[in-house]
A and B are shown apart, each in its own frame.
Chain A
Amino acid sequence: DQQVKQNSPSLSVQEGRISILNCDYTNSMFDYFLWYKKYPAEGPTFLISISSIKDKNEDGRFTVFLNKSAKHLSLHIVPSQPGDSAVYFCAASATYSGGSNYKLTFGKGTLLTVNP
């Protein structure tokens, strides 16, 4: 049972345009969401996070939007740069679920390619 879903395995955008990566979740206990970026042969790198008490968090070119009623979040990258080309993982945790509250559940990832 996939609790965090990234339905687009890949996305291709032009340099300078907006990249929008989507993520859906099914577990209503999730209350903290993170995005990680992963280059080949490297570990995931933390990008940005959002708590369920917010609907938007912005950090430079990266903005994450959360729609709790739809159980949907998205990562916007503006403007996109060729160096942003990587696999992006959405992850979620349930911070008050007792002993497993530091378990991150990851989506399958979306490969973003930014073309010059």
Chain B
Amino acid sequence: DTEVTQTPKHLVMGMTNKKSLKCEQHMGHRAMYWYKQKAKKPPELMFVYSYEKLSINESVPSRFSPECPNSSLLNLHLHALQPEDSALYLCASSQGAGGYYEQYFGPGTRLTVT
């Protein structure tokens, strides 16, 4: 099983809403990532979890709050987002915490903030 799953596929939320994105992998990977991708741009790293501990936060605003409940799950909690936060949010995982491990991506959640 080389699949990373993400739910929901699409999400529309108002600026006062609270919602969560979910990501799951069952490949035994110990590093998990959140990326944000705007149209016609490359993915931009937001957070990295290594062995369930947050190891990188790329200066992401506090309205995005990641959580790693266990080694297979990664959540991204959203609160008081802005319209410019509308984007494709990608989750990825890799076998280990090192740049030489290929990252496997999920299909993404298309987020629209109204």
Footprint of B on A, CB under 8 Å? 31-32, 34, 36, 41-46, 49, 51, 89, 93-95, 97, 99-104, 106-109
Residues of B within 8 A of A51 (CB): 100
In the complex, how many residues of chain B place their beta carbon closer than 8 angstroms to a beta carbon of chain A?
Answer: 30
Q: Are A102 and B31 in contact, CB atoms less than 8 angstroms apart?
A: yes
Q: Are B99 and A43 in contact, CB atoms less than 8 angstroms apart?
A: no
Task: Report which residue of B4, B6, B102 has the largest number of chain A beta carbons within 10 angstroms of its beta carbon.
Answer: B102
Footprint of A on B, CB under 8 Å? 4, 6, 31, 33, 40-43, 45, 48, 50, 55-56, 90-92, 94, 97-108, 110
Nearest chain B CB to A37 CB, angstrom units: 11
Bound-state CA distance A95–B101 (Å) is 9
A30 nearest CB neighbor, chain B only: B99
Q: Are A89 and B98 in contact, CB atoms less than 8 angstroms apart?
A: no
- Asked whether A43 and B108 contact (CB < 8 A) given A32-B100, A95-B100, A104-B99, the answer is yes
Q: Main SS of the interface on chain A?
A: loop
Q: Are A89 and B42 in contact, CB atoms less than 8 angstroms apart?
A: yes
Nearest chain A CB to B40 CB, angstrom units: 8
Q: Are B43 and A46 in contact, CB atoms less than 8 angstroms apart?
A: no
Residues of B within 8 A of A100 (CB): 56
